[in-house]
Structure 1
């Protein structure tokens, strides 16, 4: 599949690149996409939730009233969960939400996500660019030229570029990643995926194994 290469002004350079059908034109596997997105979201959870149980509450352990003859239920420590200020019964405890997923399934999910974006004509290939220093205004000008100023966009670099990354960091609707950081969730969450020329070889080598 051939795609025209644009410059940072949004105009065609007169060149085309060949996008691999093994990555951008497969039969999408929706279940693999579901599993990969589910794993990604699970890994975003810190799992540090915790409430104190009766053994962890500060307070006296003396018996607060005699066992019999009060006409009410038996009661022991003031830290009992039935009293205000007592410990919580079966409260949340720290938990690791990480899930395992086969590497081949993850690759299939990402190829499926890229195929879905390709089918929606939501993939743009742009020639490589760089900034001499972090400039959010220059980055916004590029998005505006590509018609992505008010859309969620995912820009994929061939390798880490600190100036480009810092230029985009303050923009809520735009995210910059390298081809190694590409994930199914990020692909699907974006309205448009912008691939720099230098990222294509890395994407194909990472996803075709």
Structure 2
């Protein structure tokens, strides 16, 4: 697949970039995508949830009634889970939700996501650019020029650019990342992907390895 490279004004520069079928044209693997997104979301969880059991809640251990002759079950202490204010049975405890995923599965998932975007014609390539200073106004003008202002756009740079990142930080519909930060979740969460020319080469170099 060949795409035209646009400038920051949204005009065709006359240059073309060819997207590798090995990265942008594979048969997508939905299960690999599911696993990679599941791992990404699991890693976002803090796992700090906690409820107190009967041994942790405050309260007396005094026996509340006689052992026999009460006409019912033997009463325990006030911290019993069946009583109001008692401990919780099998309550949540702090835990780590992360899990291991093989590198090849993660790469397959990301190539699958890229292939879906390519199939949907949701990829735009823009020439390498930078801003002299962080200005949200300049980044907004860029999204309008590229006709992605009304869409959730993911801008992918070959390397970090502080001014570009800061310019986009206040825009809820735009996100700027580098090639090394690519995730299946971000790729699928965006409606359109905007690559810089160098980022396309960098992505292909990473995923062909």
Please state which band the TM-score falls in when normalised by the shorter chain. over 0.9
Alignment of 1:180-195 (within 5 A): 180-195=180-195
Q: CA deviation at 1:73?
A: 2.4
CA distance in 2, matches of 1:64, 1:163: 68
TM-superposed CA distance for 1:177, in Å, is: 0.6
TM-score of the pair, normalised by structure 2: 0.96
Which residue number in structure 2 is paired with residue 202 of structure 1?
Answer: 202
The answer on whether the counterparts of 1:32 and 1:106 sit within 8 Å (CA) in structure 2 is: yes
Asked if 1:170 is matched to 2:165, the reply is no
Q: Any unmatched runs of 5+ in structure 1?
A: none
- Matched residues in 2 for 1:72 and 1:25: separation? 71
Q: Who is 2:88 aligned against?
A: 88
Q: Give 4+ residue runs of structure 1 displaced > 4 Å after superposition.
A: none
C-alpha RMSD over aligned residues: 1.2
How far 1:74 sits from its partner (Å)?
1.6
- C-alpha deviation, 1:22, in angstroms: 1.0
How does the TM-score come out when normalised to structure 1? 0.96
Listed one character per residue, the Cα deviations across residues 63-94 of structure 1 (whole Å, up to 9, x for unaligned) are 12222223232212111111111100000111
Q: In structure 1, what is the Cα distance between the partners aligned to 2:117 and 2:187?
A: 8
Counterpart in the other structure of 1:40: 40
> For residue 27 of structure 2, what is the aligned residue in structure 1?
27
Task: Show structure 2 runs of 5+ residues with no match.
Answer: none
Residue 143 of structure 1 is matched in structure 2 by 143
How do 1:37-186 residues align onto structure 2 when only pairs under 5 Å count? 37-186=37-186
